[in-house]
């Protein structure tokens, strides 16, 4: 088998590593970390698609026509197999990812449906129709699953537009039939803090962000979260749930930019900051078969909430905060182009009556639907065609201050965490003196403010501290005596935080920086943090385990070939690695007590030999043992520490609260990846073997459950 050399920036050591990889390494990465398993486990989605497909085939048959299906983005071929079983005469299943297309062929064959389904390994825009084409004839049933959390972010509209114009007959059925996007205006300091840097209040001093940062609209990228895990105390509803726009997939779709103004009156006074948004898809024209992405708080207590990770809910940020008063008339406008959605809030113009928005590429007039608490809009509501409006170019909002490019949403939240910053302030007071030479090694950190310095040039000027610091745009290894004015560093500080870090131990780049700076440090230098400790905890996940669990049979179809593909790719490497997840979004129970398994002493340089840790810990609660969570705890001083993982676990059931500003590492047990190999319950302890390789800056790990 051929090997290839791959150059990668090592997030822990900071070096560029040239690694010899198998030629199929990228393919295995794609499969191992895909969402295929998550989608196959989404019973609500699968059942609704199956019902909608049966109904669409029946409608075509009742017209006396052959049912010819076009399935774009077929993946495992599941939806095409549903169509063939529902009575479709023939299905064309398009899949651009070659390994997935090959798997679909095998899965379809294993289910005995090869004579009714043709898999086409192309992008849908490259498919041809004709006697010598990929499709012998145009289709009259269009089945797709091209959606992301934002609905249109994966290019659904251009794909629909092309397929409807070039691959479909003059009249077609679509599954789903339509999509409806909803929005709700809220005030939320927590979520607003994911997009704006707040003034930092320290004793009698406020550190202020520059005006350019305060007025910057931020980036256009949607913030997708499991809104059901947000506490009701984290936001105040300022509007009812509003219908922003619909897309009817049974009519010609257009992908050009358009705005959808919606008039409404606030239900409460407050600061308008954030838009919460989600969508529903109706699988049939009557809207009787609906798959909803609404957050869990909208479900009645008696109804189970479908869990899915491939579709969540959206958080959008208004360009600027705006005070609103209960009862005043306002206009929330949802703007969309072919890939993105964004919102603005304005006073309504008198000419905007009635509300105008585009449905399936046609401008329509409609009553403003107040969705109330149910979030439902009549699927058969009357729509009246009007003359097409002029298309107005829309400018996407873009970051102008640089901060939204440098910091992601969770980093904004971390910098706005007042309690966290107070811990650093108290720690710095213990280690710094007025005469010390202090060097901060962290990306975009505010620690220099707390050490009577600042973090970025704009912030320097805003807080009149530009003459008291020096920004060294160098790697630690490149810092010279001249950079330090021939002085030695007496205090080395860091959070640590680095934008390249994905897993908790990637921030050990701080340790490598300290080692590279050894010759620049005074003999009695102070370092903050003093050390980092790696902790582990055995957990039972409520739902997250599904993303790595094989499916076997899905709606009556054998998809075990896909399971084997994922298993093989995980065994290629990933099954022995942890993967990053923001666990505040994924409920779990602690089955063990947190256990410290490894400590990294920043007062000493990085060792040259491997560090090993071996041992075991007991399970103190019963439950389904799905995996181990790993995180770092930083000892800022001997009596001040900061955890980036578990904050607390309830004594009785072990419900966990997690640090919300970073991802934790998750190692899934083999019993989750391969249920046939071992059960997930009945264990008494977990053994571990961890090896930190200082050359690679990585941790090899193995966890084993013991009965």
Question: How far apart are alpha carbons 620 and 274 in whole angstroms?
Answer: 42
3-state secondary structure of 186: strand
Query: Is there a contact between 492 and 528 (Cβ–Cβ < 8 Å)?
Result: yes
Question: How far apart are alpha carbons 309 and 226 in whole angstroms?
Answer: 8
Which distant-in-sequence residues (6+ apart) come within 8 Å of 625 by Cβ?
538, 539, 540, 591, 619, 669, 671, 680, 681, 683, 686, 705
Query: Is there a contact between 234 and 161 (Cβ–Cβ < 8 Å)?
Result: no
Q: Which of 52, 71, 32, 288 is nearest to 159 (CA)?
A: 71
Annotated catalytic residue: which of 21, 30, 154, 655? 154
Question: Where are the alpha helices (H) located in 334-478, listed in sequence order?
Answer: 403-406, 409-415, 418-431, 447-450, 457-462
Query: Is there a contact between 419 and 661 (Cβ–Cβ < 8 Å)?
Result: no
Q: How far apart are the first and last CA of the chain?
A: 40
Taking the CA atoms of 431, 435, 441 and 443 in sequence, report the sign of the dihedral they define.
positive
Tokens linked to 484 = 């330090």
- Is residue 145 part of the annotated active site? The answer reads yes
Supply the DSSP symbol for 422: H
Annotated catalytic residue: which of 145, 187, 414, 579? 145
CB atoms within 10 A of CB 329: 10
Question: How far apart are alpha carbons 592 and 654 in whole angstroms?
Answer: 9
Q: What is the 3-state secondary structure (H, E, C) of 17-43?
A: EEEEEECCHHHHHHHHCCCHHHHHCCH
Residues in the chain: 707
DSSP character string of 301-314: TTSPPP--SSS-EE
Query: Is there a contact between 592 and 618 (Cβ–Cβ < 8 Å)?
Result: yes
Question: How far apart are alpha carbons 508 and 496 in whole angstroms?
Answer: 8
Burial of 556 from C-beta contacts in 10 A (0-12 / 13-18 / 19+): exposed
CB atoms within 10 A of CB 45: 20
Tokens linked to 699 = 């941790």
- Is residue 414 part of the annotated active site? The answer reads no
Torsion from C-alpha of 266, 269, 275, 279, nearest 10 degrees: -40
Which distant-in-sequence residues (6+ apart) come within 8 Å of 537 by Cβ?
590, 592, 593, 594, 595, 628, 629, 645, 646, 656
Question: How far apart are alpha carbons 172 and 186 in whole angstroms?
Answer: 39
Rounded to whole angstroms, what are the CA distances from 284 to 57, 174, 251, 288, 524? Answer: 11, 8, 13, 7, 73
Q: Annotated catalytic sites, by residue?
A: 145, 154
């Amino acid at each position: 088998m051929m090997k290839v050399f791959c150059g990668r920036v090592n997030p822990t050591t900071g070096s560029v590593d040239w690694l010899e990889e198998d030629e199929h390494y990228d393919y295995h990465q794609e499969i191992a970390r895909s969402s295929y398993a998550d989608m196959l486990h989404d019973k609500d989605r699968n059942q609704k698609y199956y019902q909608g497909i049966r109904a669409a085939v029946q409608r075509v048959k009742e017209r006396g026509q052959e049912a010819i299906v076009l399935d774009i983005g077929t993946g495992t071929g599941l939806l095409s197999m549903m169509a063939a079983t529902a009575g479709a005469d023939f299905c064309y299943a398009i899949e651009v990812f070659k390994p997935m297309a090959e798997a679909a062929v095998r899965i379809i064959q294993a289910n005995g449906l090869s004579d009714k389904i043709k898999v086409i390994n192309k992008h849908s825009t490259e498919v041809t129709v004709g006697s010598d084409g990929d499709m012998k004839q145009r289709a009259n049933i269009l089945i797709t699953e091209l959606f992301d959390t934002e609905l249109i972010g994966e290019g659904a509209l251009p794909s629909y537009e092309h397929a409807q114009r070039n691959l479909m007959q003059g009249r077609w059925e679509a599954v789903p039939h339509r999509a409806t996007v909803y929005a709700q205006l809220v005030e939320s300091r927590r979520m607003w803090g994911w997009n704006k840097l707040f003034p930092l209040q320290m004793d009698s001093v406020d550190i202020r962000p520059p005006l350019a940062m305060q007025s910057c609209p931020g980036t256009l990228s949607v913030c997708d979260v499991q809104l059901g895990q947000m506490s009701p105390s984290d936001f105040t509803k300022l509007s009812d749930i509003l219908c922003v726009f619909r897309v009817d997939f049974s009519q010609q779709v257009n992908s050009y930019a358009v705005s959808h103004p919606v008039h409404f009156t606030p239900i409460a006074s407050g600061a308008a900051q954030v838009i919460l948004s989600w969508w529903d898809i109706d699988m049939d024209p009557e809207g009787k078969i609906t798959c909803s992405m609404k957050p869990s708080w909208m479900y009645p207590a008696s109804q189970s909430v479908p869990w899915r990770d491939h579709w969540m809910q959206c958080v959008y940020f208004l360009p600027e905060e705006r005070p609103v008063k209960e009862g005043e008339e306002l206009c929330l406008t949802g703007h969309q182009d072919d890939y993105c959605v964004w919102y603005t809030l304005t006073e309504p113009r008198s000419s905007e009556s009635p509300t105008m928005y585009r449905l399936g590429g046609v401008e329509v007039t409609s009553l403003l639907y107040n969705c109330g608490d149910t979030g439902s809009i009549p699927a058969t509501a009357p729509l009246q065609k009007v003359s097409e409006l002029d298309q107005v170019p829309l400018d996407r909002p873009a970051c102008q201050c640089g901060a939204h490019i440098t910091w992601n949403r969770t980093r904004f939240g971390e910098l706005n965490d007042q309690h966290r910053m107070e811990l650093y302030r108290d720690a710095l007071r213990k280690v710094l003196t007025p005469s010390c030479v202090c060097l901060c090694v962290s990306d975009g950190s505010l620690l220099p403010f707390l050490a009577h310095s600042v973090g970025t040039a704009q912030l320097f000027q805003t807080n009149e501290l530009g003459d008291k610091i020096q920004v060294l745009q160098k790697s630690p290894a490149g810092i010279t005596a001249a950079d330090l004015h021939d002085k030695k560093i007496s205090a080395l500080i860091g959070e640590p935080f680095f934008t390249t870090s994905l897993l908790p131990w990637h921030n050990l780049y701080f340790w490598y920086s300290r080692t590279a700076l050894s010759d620049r440090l005074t003999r009695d230098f102070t370092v903050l943090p003093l050390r980092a400790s790696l902790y582990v905890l055995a957990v039972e996940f409520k739902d997250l385990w599904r993303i790595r669990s094989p499916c076997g049979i899905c709606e009556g179809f054998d998809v075990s070939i896909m399971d084997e593909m994922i298993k093989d790719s995980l065994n290629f490497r990933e099954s022995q690695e942890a993967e990053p997840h923001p666990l505040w979004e994924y409920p779990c129970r602690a089955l063990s007590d947190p256990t410290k398994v490894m400590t990294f002493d920043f007062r000493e340089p990085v060792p040259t030999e491997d560090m090993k840790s071996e041992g075991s810990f007991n399970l103190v609660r019963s439950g389904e043992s799905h995996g181990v969570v790993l995180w770092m705890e930083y000892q800022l001083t001997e009596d001040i520490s900061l955890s980036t993982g578990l904050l607390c676990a309830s004594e009785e059931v072990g419900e966990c609260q997690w640090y919300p500003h970073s991802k934790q590492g998750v190692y899934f047990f083999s019993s989750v990846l391969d249920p046939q190999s071992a059960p997930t319950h009945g264990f008494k302890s977990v053994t571990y073997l961890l090896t930190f390789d200082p050359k690679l800056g990585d941790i090899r790990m193995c966890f084993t459950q013991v009965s």
